[in-house]
Structure 1
Amino acid sequence: MTVKSRAKSRSIEDILPLSPLQEGLVFHSVYDEQGVDIYTVQLVFDIEGSLDADRLRTAAQALVRRHTNLRAGFRQRKSGDWVQVVLADAPLVWRRHDLSALDGSERPAAAERIVAADRAVRFDMGRPPLVRFTLITLGPDRHRLVLAVHHAVLDGWSLPVVLRELMHLYVARGDASALPRLRPYRDYLAWIAGRDRGASLAAWREAFAGFDEPATVIPAVKDRAPVIPGKVEFSVPAAASARLTERARELGVTLNSVVQGAWGLVLSRLLGRDDVVFGVTVSGRPADLDGVEDMVGLFINTLPLRLTLNDRESLGDLLVRLQSEQSRLLEHQYVGLAEIQRAVGAGELFDTSMVFENYPLDSAGLDDSADVGGLRLASAQSRSAMHYTYGLVAHPGDQLKFRLDYQPDLIDRADAEAVAERLVRVLGAVVGDPSVPVGQVEVLSEAERGWVLDEWIDTAREVSVRSLPELFEEQVARSPEALAAGSLTYGELNARANRLARALVELGAGPERFVAVRLPRSADLVVALLAVLKSGAAYVPVDPEYPAERVAVILEDAAPALVIDEGWLAQVDTSGHGDSDLGPVDLSSPAYVIFTSGSTGRPKGVVVEHRSVGAYVG
């Protein structure tokens, strides 16, 4: 071993695997290193009194030295696996800003700019510590402390512990000897490694039996850069919050279950389906691990919650059933989301999430009267975000408060505000009468109902009933050189479809016959669908991303004469076929068969005739 390698080994205290959620957070952080890292969390609190800045800096250094997670960084091995590397000693990142010379009216805005700029600074995931401190002096006895930390090393449940210890270390001038002995984070990782993973994955597969269609509000956008979410803040009035808490107690469920059920119902109406999934964040701290309540690190996990809805079931019974179903999964909540999705075999399951944050910061002694070493901690707030299309955060208390994060490049603020109002409306229904059937719970506002029942369905007009091939060929005649699909013009697309249609007819395609089309979104897909229609047959779309079991059920039920996929297209020879139009098709024949998930979760086919397609397009 060289002198350099010995020094390097002495600087590393430990090398650890990643917890399930750490894997996801590290992926999101390194996926786009140029964009905003939304998983940089800030804790901001005001301090009143005669503060000794050097003494506070010493306390911060002692805090980092005390906790292995605050000295950890993330690096990728040659195998591709990620590990967290704990340094024996990590340099404190400490910044100071003195705004006391500014006019009093200018200081708040200047301080807010510093806080916002600090949040925008990315951490280098491979260079610990992934925590930094910024002290802003607003006056002789007024200060603001900003603690920024990457979510991969610290969760919200750890924040009260961190604050409590930081203040203790300030009073003790950095002496940690009086603090309780820490249980190392590696014990938690060892606890995870000791679980029966096979049994847990079996439990998750059972919970998602029959589920094969993601519950997403917005389809995934490839190569989309992360953005800072927009936020809608709202609340339930104090009196109604008290009644809601009492109602939960009467039903024998937690307030968390009530909010989960209400969110599931809102999501069900938003997606128009009775089988929904959304992410939920669980604390992840195992009760059988002694000392876990005082450990600092990332223990939380984001897991899929599946909720099926029956219009005839009462709202109260829905909440009771939801809590019972989730209770059966409690001992399996350590499994990572990616592993669950692989086991379930449905790919991405959801793009909305919710978290019930029941870790008030005043549990660290940060109420309005807290006095630490001659200082008064006037307030504390945490700033965090999620990458989901919608991310709901609930804060219980005398008044139930919410924050709804939304992706502003995908969702309009007005739509997010409408979703927030619907949630409050459903919670009001729980308070009002939990015996009401789920199907009778009014989610929409009066204005929204008016749009749906009056404006949106007022679509009566005269239409021309012709087949889709005829309508397409008319468009070809109007603008043959215009782009139609990818780089294909309308003329080129029509010629390719005609040649392929003639090949299909030779292979048995025609009226009352089905042809399955299993192709990714591309110009080839458009050519294939149009060719099937021109042949007189009906197409059966099959998403290549569907699980094998779902594909097998669809093909067995539809019994297609042919299956068009990428391999078939590469082999079929259409060069000997003419590219002129084939002539009209029978309007009474099927045009396509679309398969959806029925109430059992199994695919169910719906046949659409050419007559309906022509009327719709015309």
Structure 2
Amino acid sequence: MHDTQQLPLTGAQAGIWFAQQLDPDNPIYNTGEYVEINGAIDVNIFKTALERVLTEAASLHARFEEGADGPKQIINPPFEAAIDVIDVSSEADPKQAALRLMQTDLAEPVDMAAGPLFRDILIQAGPERFFWYQRIHHIAIDGYGFSLLARRTAQMYTAIREGRPDNGRSFGSLEDLVKEDQEYRASDQFLKDREFWMEKFADEPDVVSLAERAPRTSTRFRRSTAYLSETALQHVKAIPNWHEAVTAAAAVYVHRMTNAGDIVLGLPMMGRIGSISLNIPSMVMNLLPLRLSLRPDMNFHEAVSQVAKEIRNIRRHQKYRHEDMRRDLKLLGDNRRLFGPQVNVMPFDYALDFAGARGTVHNLSAGPVDDLSINVYDRADGSGMRVDFDANPEVYSAEDIENHQKRFLLLLESAVKDQTQKIGTLNLLLESERLRVLDSWNDTRKAEKQKSLPELFYEQAVKTPDRPAIITENEELSYAELNKRANQLAGMLKEKGLGPEQFAALLLPRSQELAVSMLAVLKTGAAYLPLDPDFPSERITYMLKDAQPACLITTMELSGRMPEDSDAKRIILDDPDTVKTVAAQNADCPAQAECSPLHPAYIIYTSGSTGKPKG
């Protein structure tokens, strides 16, 4: 292909194009990897091999413009790529210097209309140590596309270095890929796939996240990297469908952390099996919602079986784009998501050999992370199983993501060791959290002075004097006002001899006066006996004779309810003489008697349904 060519966008490309238009300067769609090459390589031969491979990859030479019928991609004739060679071997820490260089480049936005969509740098960190860095906009490539470029480059380099013909297979046609995508979108299968997904999500399930706030697209992501222990790796690999087991562990983790039974994870699907895209570096990958139903009484094996069954089910409909699902389900706009955390267990490995020099691949960025992405790499370089937690820094702190990762690995290790365990019993607590729950939170011993109810109330009144303490239909009383009125009434009650080990009966309706009187009695050190004015007269009479209160506090209207033969002193709150006496008392003094915690505070009578009421 030597002439400029115009092609429509595939469904995968269209989703990214429209998303990028919402924020053109956001570099989050820059995807990047680097290959760490250990061994002596010929820089000039490497550049020659890479230039040839980049020429073969048509998607890298595209520009994207908006035409009258929508966006289109313009495939330019292959050009000689500018492959930078940078030497950082003199730096104090060459690898860190190389990583800083890569991260700086990844943060640069790409103009899709102008291009180029990619950049390659060969970074020399020593005589026999190199980092080959590739940054490509996600609209042109996915993770599998990176592997095609890397393998082809290693193959081409080895052939040139060894002086033999390149017998490798060139990449397929991007035009054929676009045609295949258009044929699918015009097919009956497209309609069947749409029907499948609409039926599956007709009930509009809630999307569950580990974040406390609704995630939004950010301009970067936060990564935490860890490795599965050797013992755990052996247990994982002993499971025939270990990919599903890791995915099930992620679902169980979300279930346990949120207590939600309906879990929807994001599951990347390569989408290339049985397609011509199997040999075309391009953007094909789809994100599908994996919906699961989990219960604490299920064992882990049942969860894995459900994951395996559901993946087989949705794989038959994997070509239907998740962007189309969101549109069909009207999940448009900020925070209208189709799934929560994503789980990506990499199904392919890089076995890179540059004429005897070993190449190990490291991912830097796989595109946007709206919420959380759990990426699991099973590399053949002897480093074991790597688990990356990529998170949106807008909603997850560094501590959040590290703790989530540690808990997930604990749960995974426990689950794969014995799949018969109930998922509700799998270990989640970190050692620091276990000590906090079992020791710190249970260490309730305190050396403090015991305080009475009046003392505690008085402290609160000093802290918040103007806040409402009592609210009734007609008015409200502040803490300061309630304290003042209770002090004045308590002063009068003490003058009448009321104190500890005595009772004061309160025959009052539910009102401010009742609350003032209860607090005033407590301030004298005495206990109160509430009497409901709606009680039958016989019950009131019985309670007064049984309790033998020192006084009865009531109103003029209710005083007639008192038995004539009662010895209790009557204090009529609304009697003019009582009002005058109370008003003359010191309102500022707490008026609190010295009393012991063993002194009674109140006396309450039972209903008497099984005999006489008991106080």
CA distances 1:270-312 after superposition (whole Å, capped 9, x unpaired): 223111112111111132x3x5433221221111111111233
2:28 pairs with 1:37: yes
Among candidates 205, 208, 212, match of residue 198 of structure 2: 205
Instruction: Give the letter aligned to residue 357 of structure 2.
Output: R
CA distances 1:294-341 after superposition (whole Å, capped 9, x unpaired): 322122111111111123322211211221122111121111112112
- Tell me the residue number matched to 2:325: 340
2:357 pairs with 1:376: yes
Q: Contact 1:47/1:145 (CA < 8 Å) preserved in 2?
A: no
Distance 1:452 1:204, change over 3 A: farther
Distance 1:420 1:469, change over 3 A: farther
How far apart are residue 467 of structure 1 and its match? 13
Q: Contact 1:11/1:89 (CA < 8 Å) preserved in 2?
A: no
Q: Contact 1:40/1:122 (CA < 8 Å) preserved in 2?
A: no
Superposed, 1:45-84 pairs within 5 Å as 45-46=36-37, 48-49=39-40, 51-53=42-44, 55-79=45-69, 81-84=70-73
The separation in 1 between residues aligned to 2:291 and 2:477, in whole angstroms, is 45
- Tell me the residue number matched to 2:416: 431
Superposed, 1:104-115 pairs within 5 Å as 105=92, 107-115=94-102
CA distances 1:506-553 after superposition (whole Å, capped 9, x unpaired): xxxxxxxxxxxxxxxxxxxxxxxxxxxxxxxxxxxxxxxxxxxxxxxx
Among candidates 385, 389, 397, match of residue 371 of structure 2: 389
Give the SS at the match of 2:35.
Answer: strand
Q: Which has the larger radius of gyration?
A: 2
2:257 pairs with 1:257: no
CA distances 1:545-594 after superposition (whole Å, capped 9, x unpaired): xxxxxxxxxxxxxxxxxxxxxxxxxxxxxxxxxxxxxxxxxxxxxxxxxx
Distance 1:198 1:230, change over 3 A: same
Normalised TM-score (structure 1): 0.64
Give the SS at the match of 1:202.
Answer: helix
How far apart are residue 32 of structure 1 and its match? 2.4
Instruction: Give the letter aligned to residue 20 of structure 2.
Output: S
Distance 1:138 1:181, change over 3 A: closer
- Tell me the residue number matched to 2:285: 300
Among candidates 109, 118, 124, match of residue 131 of structure 1: 118
The range that moved more, 344-353 or 383-392, is 344-353
Q: Contact 2:343/2:373 (CA < 8 Å) preserved in 1?
A: yes
Q: Contact 1:47/1:142 (CA < 8 Å) preserved in 2?
A: yes
Q: Contact 2:171/2:281 (CA < 8 Å) preserved in 1?
A: no
The separation in 2 between residues aligned to 1:108 and 1:86, in whole angstroms, is 36
Give the SS at the match of 2:260.
Answer: coil
Q: Contact 1:29/1:39 (CA < 8 Å) preserved in 2?
A: no
Q: Contact 2:87/2:125 (CA < 8 Å) preserved in 1?
A: yes
Among candidates 203, 216, 226, match of residue 234 of structure 1: 226
- Tell me the residue number matched to 2:347: 358
2:156 pairs with 1:169: yes
- Tell me the residue number matched to 1:25: 16
The separation in 2 between residues aligned to 1:371 and 1:319, in whole angstroms, is 39
Give the SS at the match of 1:194.
Answer: helix
Distance 1:30 1:341, change over 3 A: closer
- Tell me the residue number matched to 1:409: 394
The separation in 2 between residues aligned to 1:211 and 1:228, in whole angstroms, is 29
Distance 1:67 1:50, change over 3 A: closer
Distance 1:418 1:78, change over 3 A: same
Distance 1:337 1:220, change over 3 A: farther
Q: Contact 1:244/1:430 (CA < 8 Å) preserved in 2?
A: no
% same residue = 19
Q: Unpaired segments of 5 or more residues in structure 1?
A: 1-8, 479-618
CA distances 1:435-493 after superposition (whole Å, capped 9, x unpaired): 2333333333465467678859x9xx9999x999989x9899x9xxxxxxxxxxxxxxx
The separation in 2 between residues aligned to 1:263 and 1:469, in whole angstroms, is 50
Instruction: Give the letter aligned to residue 229 of structure 2.
Output: P
Q: Contact 1:93/1:131 (CA < 8 Å) preserved in 2?
A: no
Instruction: Give the letter aligned to residue 150 of structure 2.
Output: L
- Tell me the residue number matched to 1:607: none
Superposed, 1:547-558 pairs within 5 Å as none
Superposition RMSD in Å = 3.9
Q: Contact 2:271/2:318 (CA < 8 Å) preserved in 1?
A: yes
The separation in 1 between residues aligned to 2:307 and 2:131, in whole angstroms, is 43
Q: Unpaired segments of 5 or more residues in structure 2?
A: 445-455, 462-467, 481-615
How far apart are residue 11 of structure 1 and its match? 4.6
